Structure 1
């Protein structure tokens, strides 16, 4: 039995919903016939508020949100067994890849970066995009059970296990090992890497330190004590932003790690901020979003959303708008980046339990939760 995966421009009218099978027979729904054999539900539920979607895609299975990190630029749906890459202009399935979950303790085995989705499997780093799949072997000297940590352009950074954990950089085009070094630095282990401007990597140390590495050779540029084991780091061209204890944000100089300004308040806990286009957007678990001056932390505007935020709520800034995702029933909020005013709120009537996931290619905003993905206008 062929699977029908629908990509329907806009949303159905009430009349279309009532016509049901008659509308299908008349060509009122566009169907894409996949390769795995189950039928897509016939109709999309109505949009409750916000702009009319440019297209809507519904999968047969819900996304496995815990598997995917990063945002990338490709509209997609990652389930427990498959990765669906959608056509940006129509929402039709351009390609799907079988990606059964990897055994082991790490759930987040897929990384979206740029136009590709990356995965480590059986001693290889794989990259899935609209073109042919790419695969490079991880050199055995990096150790057993190599993990993919992050990707910056055409270079993948990994962590190899064994008697001594090693960090390494692997060129995805040639498979050449650019560098390898012990993950141990001083009395701590470097367990996470964040690409930063200027050819840097900002790492987290188990010794409660922020460590900057040279992305070209893995050497240490600077080390700065931190208040706690850091769950996130956000970087722009001049600064690194990290959590200050449990209720604040701290800025460090990207060039030298020198401590800068601090914002603290006992009434909220910080969520990873967003540094974009010369601005800094701070998010708090209380639901407050502010735009701050990167140089000194001065607040420019504040907007309180009617729901709490957590680490899954990753905003996107594009087209003069800051898009902030909430829980399924909270929707996607579009804020004017100049004033913080609410431009619109997008909500649907789809059942769901997940937080909205957002990404963009600069022309469209892709917003999804559970089984559904929408393309929304950014202007």
Structure 2
């Protein structure tokens, strides 16, 4: 919710604070009151940095009630998933765990529809048409997210010069989700209830048609100044809603067909919101696209100019009194002009100087695998076999190649961080750098944060997803939906602004999958799930399916049954029309066009190993480069991508004794025909894929993360994954294999693994509760 002001308040948009109002919430100082509703009070507030917001705080009497805290959390979840788009205010900040929960959103310069109509009278036809088209588009966006507003009324629509905005999602819920109500407590506004909400017993479930019914009521109100079923006692109004016809006297005849359809008693007889939007916008029902494709085009920015023209037309159609009201608010709140691209600013702390490790400090206890003597990796005969040559520790690489570099002691000083972001970051999530955003799991474990990669400021939050394992797919981050109805949907988060939407039910359960998205390309997510309902059976007793979900068309392109298994994650890669999928004991390639399996190769060691998400995972990972699949884990295998034929490999038995039963080779990074990967958690090797020869090997004197942690490559540097409490990152020269620098860490403790994120001339180090950006060029 942003600004909720009841119609009987004075014309001034603000009122003085009361004596018992607090001075501030968080970093926002209260300036005035904007209004009050059933759940809380809305204040005008300003941050220390000068940003003016509308801050909604739950009433003190309700703050200790679990039901209202949950409802408030749902409101925040819905508002964040929609905020910042054309028809919704952007959420700036929130606190749902404090003694009095609150959320702050952008302050919108405009009255509510209730205020506008009461103060300035009914609207003319052209303005009604523009209002209805915009509200229908907003509702269509809500419904595409899998949500229902459930409390659409004149006071929950704000009229701005850019267009109407939908606010107050305190009663919103996912379609099909359980209703959060207390016995005897009314939720919603009777005058704008739908018949299925009004009938107390035996009524239908409340879905998107209920919002369409309320939209019809809003148009009647804007056209006539009264609700379609009149006023009076709640029970009398609800009876008229359920069983009588609406009063449409005064509604322009041109709007009657749409209004009558929207106010139909049977939900099945009401048109969808997107159909109403097309009709009122003049595109008709046969415009060559459906609502989902329209949403995609808007999301892709292809109709930005048209939307701007629509906003300008809307302002020109507003009654003169409403425009004067907007001007009054602008003058009263002198510095609250909304900037659409403004984001909440995180204050960057001072650069953290490097601190040398304490010679007396304790080293972390960990399983350390000793390499012993390592020599060269070379091709062996026409069969392409690879063998491990024993040699003295620290020996040279191949003849004529560069000498191996020293360990992680550091040949130079690490660059000073450009910025550091500190915030509620989860300890075990897998960070992702994508489309200018560092996406990290939010603490305490659900949701995801998007930090601007250039500035180090919080760009957005997406709380309604399982933020542990995001996968990049086009402009989206795809993962499990955390709060959808059931466990059979994916969540898609827009990397640009954090807007979130859910897929339709996919016909499989993700209950047993920590990371159901195995891989993705420009528009398709390749997903693994199991058959059957949520509660029955074990994963190895259920059928298992591989699906290709098109995030643009929002539909499943194909579905293939694969061998049963209980792995919580199947590592995958997509290249050249093939999906390479690693399972327990095998690696297989599937055609991305239709899902047919092209080949399957057995791998040694078919048992699963514990993963960092708590589930069991295969001991192998894969990378694809230049038509070659590199499968790393208990050994190293190079396989032809098209045919599945082996090219060369290292078997576990060819490694030095004492290496243990766990994975030996970490996930590789491939650049310019060279693969870089950790070996035994102590070394990094650079192997030429064409000659199969070792270009160099590098031995660490810091604790590297054990396989299958991935190595990173960028800007002429190799970044091994770290698990050392004293070294956050090490940079190795890609050409020579010598240490360039080590970024020391004086925190003394870290959970999980630091895997490097590099791109656009920067290295992003996610460690503990902070993200640091280091320049590489």
Q: TM-score scaled to structure 2, two decimals? A: 0.40
CA distance in 1, matches of 2:426, 2:434: 16
Deviation, structure 1 residue 36: 2.5
- Between Structure 1 and Structure 2, the one with more strand by share is 1
CA deviation map 1:116-168 (0-9, x unaligned) = 4322223432222223524252454x333474333222101112322532211
Q: Paired residue for 1:58?
A: 422
> How does 1:77-88 map onto structure 2 within 5 Å?
77-79=440-442, 80-88=445-453
CA distance in 2, matches of 1:203, 1:331: 31
- Between Structure 1 and Structure 2, the one with more helix by share is 2
> How does 1:220-259 map onto structure 2 within 5 Å?
220-229=597-606, 230-243=619-632, 246=634, 248-259=635-646
Instruction: Decide whether the 8 Å contact of 1:292 with 1:299 is kept in 2.
Output: yes
Q: Which has the larger Rg?
A: 2
Gaps of 5+ in 1: 5-26, 103-107
1:137 pairs with 2:512: no
CA distance in 1, matches of 2:708, 2:768: 14
- Secondary structure, in 3 states, of the residue corresponding to 1:331? strand
CA distance in 1, matches of 2:348, 2:576: 50
Q: 1:320 to 1:56 in 2, by over 3 A?
A: same
Q: Paired residue for 1:219?
A: 596
Q: Paired residue for 1:370?
A: 768
CA distance in 1, matches of 2:474, 2:736: 29
Deviation, structure 1 residue 286: 3.8
Q: Paired residue for 1:159?
A: 528
Q: 1:160 to 1:298 in 2, by over 3 A?
A: same
CA deviation map 1:54-112 (0-9, x unaligned) = 111111x34232x337654522332224422112221011111214659xxxxx44335
Structure of greater relative contact order (alpha carbons < 8 Å, 6+ residues apart): 1
Q: TM-score scaled to structure 1, two decimals? A: 0.79
2:470 to 110, 135, 151: 110
CA deviation map 1:321-342 (0-9, x unaligned) = 1122312312211111111111
Q: Paired residue for 1:333?
A: 730
Instruction: Decide whether the 8 Å contact of 1:322 with 1:336 is kept in 2.
Output: yes
Deviation, structure 1 residue 53: 0.8
Instruction: Decide whether the 8 Å contact of 1:197 with 1:237 is kept in 2.
Output: no
1:262 pairs with 2:568: no
> How does 1:1-379 map onto structure 2 within 5 Å?
1-2=25-26, 35-37=93-95, 46-48=352-354, 50-59=414-423, 61-65=424-428, 67-68=429-430, 72=434, 74-79=437-442, 80-99=445-464, 108-112=468-472, 116-121=476-481, 122=484, 123-128=488-493, 129-131=495-497, 133-140=499-506, 142-145=507-510, 147-163=516-532, 164-184=543-563, 192-206=570-584, 208-229=585-606, 230-243=619-632, 246=634, 248-263=635-650, 264-266=654-656, 268=659, 269-306=664-701, 307-311=703-707, 313-327=709-723, 328-354=725-751, 355-379=753-777
Q: 1:3 to 1:249 in 2, by over 3 A?
A: farther
| Equivalent residues, number | 342
CA distance in 1, matches of 2:518, 2:641: 20
Aligned CA-pair RMSD? 3.3
CA deviation map 1:31-68 (0-9, x unaligned) = 9x961348x99955732151111111111x34232x33
- Secondary structure, in 3 states, of the residue corresponding to 1:211? strand
Deviation, structure 1 residue 376: 0.9
Q: Paired residue for 2:396?
A: none
Deviation, structure 1 residue 270: 1.7
- Secondary structure, in 3 states, of the residue corresponding to 1:75? strand
Indicate the larger mover: 231-240 or 111-120: 111-120
Q: 1:135 to 1:81 in 2, by over 3 A?
A: closer
Q: 1:62 to 1:101 in 2, by over 3 A?
A: same
